[in-house]
Structure 1
Amino acid sequence: MKSTEIHPADYDAQGRVRLPFLFWCVLLLQARTWVLFVMAAASRGQGDTLLTLFYPDHDSFWLGLLPGVPAVVAFLCSGRRHLIPRLWQALRWLLIVAQIALLCWQPVLWLYGEPLTGLGIGLLVADIVALMWLLTNPRLRACFTPEKD
Protein backbone atom coordinates (compact mmCIF):
# COMPACT_ATOMS: atom_id res chain seq x y z
CA MET A 1 0.00 0.00 0.00
CA LYS A 2 1.29 3.45 -0.88
CA SER A 3 2.33 5.64 2.02
CA THR A 4 0.92 9.17 2.07
CA GLU A 5 3.27 10.39 4.76
CA ILE A 6 5.11 13.61 4.27
CA HIS A 7 8.84 13.02 4.31
CA PRO A 8 11.22 15.11 6.44
CA ALA A 9 12.84 16.47 3.26
CA ASP A 10 9.47 18.03 2.36
CA TYR A 11 9.76 20.54 5.22
CA ASP A 12 11.60 23.86 5.07
CA ALA A 13 13.84 25.35 7.76
CA GLN A 14 10.83 26.92 9.53
CA GLY A 15 9.04 23.58 9.78
CA ARG A 16 6.42 24.30 7.12
CA VAL A 17 5.64 21.87 4.33
CA ARG A 18 7.28 23.01 1.11
CA LEU A 19 5.04 23.72 -1.80
CA PRO A 20 5.38 20.97 -4.43
CA PHE A 21 6.90 21.74 -7.82
CA LEU A 22 3.63 20.81 -9.53
CA PHE A 23 1.90 23.55 -7.53
CA TRP A 24 3.94 26.13 -9.43
CA CYS A 25 3.09 24.39 -12.71
CA VAL A 26 -0.63 24.53 -11.88
CA LEU A 27 -0.30 28.24 -11.06
CA LEU A 28 1.28 28.82 -14.47
CA LEU A 29 -1.47 26.80 -16.13
CA GLN A 30 -4.18 28.80 -14.38
CA ALA A 31 -2.46 32.13 -15.04
CA ARG A 32 -1.74 31.34 -18.68
CA THR A 33 -3.53 34.46 -19.92
CA TRP A 34 -1.53 36.55 -17.45
CA VAL A 35 1.68 34.97 -18.75
CA LEU A 36 0.63 35.80 -22.30
CA PHE A 37 -0.18 39.35 -21.20
CA VAL A 38 3.29 39.79 -19.66
CA MET A 39 4.95 38.30 -22.75
CA ALA A 40 2.98 40.62 -25.02
CA ALA A 41 3.93 43.62 -22.89
CA ALA A 42 7.59 42.62 -22.94
CA SER A 43 7.68 42.10 -26.70
CA ARG A 44 7.01 45.79 -27.44
CA GLY A 45 5.87 46.13 -31.06
CA GLN A 46 4.86 42.48 -31.45
CA GLY A 47 2.48 42.45 -28.45
CA ASP A 48 -0.73 43.06 -30.35
CA THR A 49 0.17 40.41 -32.90
CA LEU A 50 0.87 37.91 -30.13
CA LEU A 51 -2.43 38.64 -28.37
CA THR A 52 -4.36 38.39 -31.65
CA LEU A 53 -2.73 35.04 -32.38
CA PHE A 54 -4.02 33.47 -29.15
CA TYR A 55 -7.11 35.63 -28.60
CA PRO A 56 -8.63 36.85 -31.88
CA ASP A 57 -11.60 38.13 -29.87
CA HIS A 58 -10.17 40.66 -27.42
CA ASP A 59 -13.18 40.29 -25.10
CA SER A 60 -12.15 36.66 -24.53
CA PHE A 61 -8.73 37.88 -23.49
CA TRP A 62 -10.08 40.14 -20.77
CA LEU A 63 -12.41 37.37 -19.54
CA GLY A 64 -9.46 34.96 -19.64
CA LEU A 65 -7.64 37.06 -17.06
CA LEU A 66 -10.33 36.40 -14.41
CA PRO A 67 -9.65 32.70 -13.67
CA GLY A 68 -5.95 33.51 -13.30
CA VAL A 69 -6.48 36.00 -10.46
CA PRO A 70 -6.42 33.36 -7.67
CA ALA A 71 -3.21 31.90 -9.15
CA VAL A 72 -1.56 35.32 -9.19
CA VAL A 73 -2.67 35.97 -5.60
CA ALA A 74 -1.40 32.53 -4.52
CA PHE A 75 1.94 33.23 -6.17
CA LEU A 76 2.24 36.59 -4.42
CA CYS A 77 1.16 35.21 -1.02
CA SER A 78 3.15 31.97 -1.09
CA GLY A 79 6.21 33.43 0.61
CA ARG A 80 4.18 34.91 3.45
CA ARG A 81 1.59 32.19 3.90
CA HIS A 82 2.37 31.90 7.61
CA LEU A 83 1.37 35.56 8.13
CA ILE A 84 -2.03 35.25 6.45
CA PRO A 85 -3.25 31.76 7.35
CA ARG A 86 -6.97 32.36 6.71
CA LEU A 87 -6.40 33.84 3.28
CA TRP A 88 -3.91 31.11 2.45
CA GLN A 89 -6.35 28.39 3.52
CA ALA A 90 -9.11 29.94 1.41
CA LEU A 91 -6.80 30.16 -1.60
CA ARG A 92 -6.79 26.39 -2.06
CA TRP A 93 -10.53 26.40 -2.60
CA LEU A 94 -10.31 29.48 -4.83
CA LEU A 95 -7.71 27.67 -6.94
CA ILE A 96 -10.00 24.66 -7.23
CA VAL A 97 -12.96 26.85 -8.27
CA ALA A 98 -10.76 28.66 -10.81
CA GLN A 99 -9.58 25.33 -12.19
CA ILE A 100 -13.19 24.17 -12.59
CA ALA A 101 -13.95 27.44 -14.41
CA LEU A 102 -10.99 26.89 -16.74
CA LEU A 103 -12.08 23.31 -17.33
CA CYS A 104 -15.53 24.50 -18.41
CA TRP A 105 -14.15 27.45 -20.40
CA GLN A 106 -12.64 25.49 -23.30
CA PRO A 107 -15.77 23.47 -24.21
CA VAL A 108 -17.84 26.66 -24.03
CA LEU A 109 -15.47 28.30 -26.50
CA TRP A 110 -15.89 25.31 -28.80
CA LEU A 111 -19.68 25.59 -28.55
CA TYR A 112 -19.47 29.23 -29.62
CA GLY A 113 -17.57 28.41 -32.77
CA GLU A 114 -13.88 28.36 -31.87
CA PRO A 115 -12.13 25.68 -33.94
CA LEU A 116 -11.15 22.43 -32.26
CA THR A 117 -7.34 22.41 -32.14
CA GLY A 118 -4.65 20.28 -30.58
CA LEU A 119 -3.71 23.15 -28.27
CA GLY A 120 -7.29 23.40 -27.02
CA ILE A 121 -7.52 19.67 -26.39
CA GLY A 122 -4.13 19.73 -24.67
CA LEU A 123 -5.25 22.54 -22.40
CA LEU A 124 -8.44 20.65 -21.57
CA VAL A 125 -6.48 17.53 -20.62
CA ALA A 126 -4.01 19.61 -18.59
CA ASP A 127 -6.93 21.29 -16.79
CA ILE A 128 -8.44 17.91 -15.90
CA VAL A 129 -5.11 16.63 -14.55
CA ALA A 130 -4.53 19.86 -12.60
CA LEU A 131 -7.98 19.70 -11.02
CA MET A 132 -7.52 16.09 -9.96
CA TRP A 133 -4.10 16.93 -8.51
CA LEU A 134 -5.45 19.95 -6.60
CA LEU A 135 -8.20 17.82 -5.11
CA THR A 136 -6.21 14.71 -4.21
CA ASN A 137 -2.57 15.56 -3.43
CA PRO A 138 -1.97 15.07 0.32
CA ARG A 139 1.21 17.13 0.42
CA LEU A 140 -0.54 20.08 -1.19
CA ARG A 141 -3.43 19.71 1.24
CA ALA A 142 -0.91 19.80 4.11
CA CYS A 143 0.56 23.02 2.72
CA PHE A 144 -2.83 24.71 3.06
CA THR A 145 -3.75 23.43 6.52
CA PRO A 146 -3.15 25.90 9.35
CA GLU A 147 -0.11 25.33 11.53
CA LYS A 148 -0.61 24.36 15.13
CA ASP A 149 1.22 26.68 17.51
Structure 2
Amino acid sequence: MNPDDYNDHGMLRLPLWFWTILILQARTWILFVMVGASRQQGSDLLALFYPESQNFWSGMLLGLPPALLFLLSGRRHVWPRIWQAGYWLLLAGMFVTFALQGLGLWQSTDTISGVDIVLALLDAAALAYWLMSRRLRACFDATRRLA
Protein backbone atom coordinates (compact mmCIF):
# COMPACT_ATOMS: atom_id res chain seq x y z
CA MET A 1 0.00 0.00 0.00
CA ASN A 2 1.04 3.53 -0.69
CA PRO A 3 1.54 5.89 2.30
CA ASP A 4 -1.05 8.20 0.72
CA ASP A 5 -3.63 5.47 1.31
CA TYR A 6 -3.49 6.15 5.06
CA ASN A 7 -5.12 8.95 7.06
CA ASP A 8 -3.64 11.11 9.84
CA HIS A 9 -4.23 8.35 12.40
CA GLY A 10 -2.30 5.79 10.34
CA MET A 11 -5.42 3.90 9.28
CA LEU A 12 -6.36 3.00 5.72
CA ARG A 13 -8.67 5.48 4.04
CA LEU A 14 -12.12 4.11 3.39
CA PRO A 15 -12.88 3.49 -0.30
CA LEU A 16 -15.61 5.40 -2.11
CA TRP A 17 -17.66 2.22 -2.48
CA PHE A 18 -17.84 1.93 1.31
CA TRP A 19 -19.76 5.21 1.45
CA THR A 20 -21.98 4.16 -1.45
CA ILE A 21 -22.85 0.91 0.32
CA LEU A 22 -23.65 2.77 3.54
CA ILE A 23 -26.02 5.08 1.67
CA LEU A 24 -27.66 2.12 -0.06
CA GLN A 25 -28.08 0.17 3.18
CA ALA A 26 -29.34 3.18 5.16
CA ARG A 27 -31.82 4.25 2.47
CA THR A 28 -34.81 4.04 4.81
CA TRP A 29 -33.09 6.41 7.25
CA ILE A 30 -32.34 8.81 4.39
CA LEU A 31 -35.98 8.67 3.34
CA PHE A 32 -37.00 9.27 6.95
CA VAL A 33 -34.87 12.43 7.05
CA MET A 34 -36.35 13.57 3.73
CA VAL A 35 -39.86 12.98 5.07
CA GLY A 36 -39.05 15.06 8.11
CA ALA A 37 -37.70 17.86 5.93
CA SER A 38 -40.76 17.95 3.66
CA ARG A 39 -43.58 18.28 6.11
CA GLN A 40 -46.51 18.55 3.73
CA GLN A 41 -45.54 15.74 1.36
CA GLY A 42 -43.90 13.45 3.92
CA SER A 43 -46.75 11.00 4.27
CA ASP A 44 -47.08 10.79 0.49
CA LEU A 45 -43.38 9.92 0.20
CA LEU A 46 -43.68 7.21 2.82
CA ALA A 47 -46.78 5.76 1.16
CA LEU A 48 -44.99 5.75 -2.19
CA PHE A 49 -41.89 3.86 -1.04
CA TYR A 50 -43.40 1.86 1.84
CA PRO A 51 -47.08 1.07 1.29
CA GLU A 52 -46.89 -1.40 4.19
CA SER A 53 -45.63 0.08 7.45
CA GLN A 54 -44.05 -3.26 8.41
CA ASN A 55 -41.52 -2.83 5.58
CA PHE A 56 -40.69 0.67 6.77
CA TRP A 57 -39.92 -0.47 10.31
CA SER A 58 -37.83 -3.41 9.14
CA GLY A 59 -35.94 -0.99 6.86
CA MET A 60 -35.32 1.30 9.82
CA LEU A 61 -34.02 -1.60 11.90
CA LEU A 62 -31.77 -2.94 9.12
CA GLY A 63 -30.56 0.58 8.33
CA LEU A 64 -29.42 1.22 11.88
CA PRO A 65 -25.98 -0.52 11.61
CA PRO A 66 -24.96 1.42 8.47
CA ALA A 67 -26.10 4.68 10.05
CA LEU A 68 -24.06 3.92 13.18
CA LEU A 69 -21.02 2.91 11.10
CA PHE A 70 -21.32 6.22 9.26
CA LEU A 71 -21.22 8.08 12.57
CA LEU A 72 -18.37 5.93 13.89
CA SER A 73 -16.22 6.11 10.75
CA GLY A 74 -14.57 9.39 11.74
CA ARG A 75 -13.61 8.07 15.17
CA ARG A 76 -12.77 4.46 14.31
CA HIS A 77 -9.28 4.85 15.76
CA VAL A 78 -10.85 5.49 19.19
CA TRP A 79 -13.05 2.36 19.21
CA PRO A 80 -11.24 -0.24 17.08
CA ARG A 81 -13.10 -3.26 18.52
CA ILE A 82 -16.50 -1.72 17.83
CA TRP A 83 -15.29 -0.77 14.35
CA GLN A 84 -14.19 -4.37 13.66
CA ALA A 85 -17.55 -5.71 14.85
CA GLY A 86 -19.24 -3.24 12.52
CA TYR A 87 -17.90 -5.12 9.51
CA TRP A 88 -19.63 -8.33 10.57
CA LEU A 89 -22.79 -6.56 11.74
CA LEU A 90 -23.21 -4.79 8.41
CA LEU A 91 -22.45 -8.00 6.53
CA ALA A 92 -25.18 -9.81 8.46
CA GLY A 93 -27.58 -6.93 7.83
CA MET A 94 -26.82 -7.04 4.11
CA PHE A 95 -27.53 -10.78 4.01
CA VAL A 96 -30.85 -10.28 5.80
CA THR A 97 -31.82 -7.36 3.56
CA PHE A 98 -31.02 -9.32 0.42
CA ALA A 99 -32.89 -12.38 1.70
CA LEU A 100 -35.96 -10.32 2.59
CA GLN A 101 -35.94 -8.68 -0.83
CA GLY A 102 -35.67 -12.04 -2.55
CA LEU A 103 -38.50 -13.41 -0.44
CA GLY A 104 -40.63 -10.36 -1.21
CA LEU A 105 -40.00 -10.68 -4.94
CA TRP A 106 -40.72 -14.41 -4.85
CA GLN A 107 -43.99 -14.01 -2.92
CA SER A 108 -45.18 -11.02 -4.92
CA THR A 109 -48.52 -11.70 -6.55
CA ASP A 110 -48.69 -8.30 -8.21
CA THR A 111 -46.40 -7.19 -10.97
CA ILE A 112 -42.86 -6.69 -9.78
CA SER A 113 -41.73 -3.08 -9.99
CA GLY A 114 -38.49 -2.09 -11.65
CA VAL A 115 -37.40 -0.28 -8.49
CA ASP A 116 -37.57 -3.50 -6.48
CA ILE A 117 -35.47 -5.34 -9.05
CA VAL A 118 -32.90 -2.53 -9.23
CA LEU A 119 -32.62 -2.37 -5.44
CA ALA A 120 -32.18 -6.15 -5.24
CA LEU A 121 -29.43 -6.02 -7.88
CA LEU A 122 -27.71 -3.12 -6.13
CA ASP A 123 -27.87 -4.97 -2.81
CA ALA A 124 -26.42 -8.08 -4.46
CA ALA A 125 -23.57 -6.03 -5.94
CA ALA A 126 -22.92 -4.34 -2.58
CA LEU A 127 -22.84 -7.70 -0.84
CA ALA A 128 -20.44 -9.11 -3.43
CA TYR A 129 -18.12 -6.10 -3.09
CA TRP A 130 -18.26 -6.31 0.71
CA LEU A 131 -17.23 -9.96 0.60
CA MET A 132 -14.55 -9.71 -2.11
CA SER A 133 -12.79 -6.40 -1.46
CA ARG A 134 -9.47 -6.94 0.29
CA ARG A 135 -9.00 -3.21 0.66
CA LEU A 136 -12.32 -2.81 2.46
CA ARG A 137 -11.56 -5.77 4.73
CA ALA A 138 -8.17 -4.24 5.54
CA CYS A 139 -9.90 -0.99 6.56
CA PHE A 140 -11.65 -2.90 9.34
CA ASP A 141 -8.45 -4.56 10.56
CA ALA A 142 -7.13 -2.69 13.60
CA THR A 143 -3.63 -4.11 13.12
CA ARG A 144 -3.28 -2.53 9.65
CA ARG A 145 -1.66 0.76 10.54
CA LEU A 146 1.06 2.74 8.91
CA ALA A 147 4.23 2.09 10.89
TM-score (normalised: structure 1): 0.90
Q: 2:43 aligns with which of 48, 61, 70?
A: 48
Give the equivalent residue in structure 2 for 1:131: 127
Output the aligned Cα RMSD.
Answer: 1.5
Deviates more, 1:15-24 or 1:103-112: 103-112
Structure 2 unmatched ranges of 5 or more: none
Structure 1 residues 23-59: Cα deviation after superposition (integer angstroms, max 9, x where no partner): 0000011001111111111111110000000011112
Matched residue type, 1:70: P
Matched residue type, 1:98: G
Give the equivalent residue in structure 2 for 1:24: 19
Q: Equivalent residues in 2 for 1:50-129 (5 A)?
A: 50-110=45-105, 111-113=107-109, 115-129=111-125
Percent pairwise identity = 46
Deviates more, 1:62-71 or 1:7-16: 7-16
Structure with bigger RCO (C-alpha 8 Å, 6+ apart): 2
Deviates more, 1:22-31 or 1:115-124: 115-124
Runs of 4+ in 1 over 6 A off after TM superposition: none
Matched residue type, 1:124: A
TM-score (normalised: structure 2): 0.92
Give the equivalent residue in structure 2 for 1:142: 138
Structure 1 residues 5-34: Cα deviation after superposition (integer angstroms, max 9, x where no partner): x33321112221001111000001100111
Separation in 2, partners of 1:70, 1:79? 15
Deviates more, 1:105-114 or 1:80-89: 105-114
Deviates more, 1:55-64 or 1:90-99: 55-64
Give the equivalent residue in structure 2 for 1:3: none
Q: 2:32 aligns with which of 7, 18, 37?
A: 37
The count of aligned residue pairs is 144
Separation in 2, partners of 1:78, 1:96? 16
TM-aligned CA distance change 1:114 to 1:31, over 3 Å: farther
Structure 1 unmatched ranges of 5 or more: 1-5
Once the 2 structures are TM-superposed, how far is the Cα of residue 115 of structure 1 from its aligned partner? 3.7
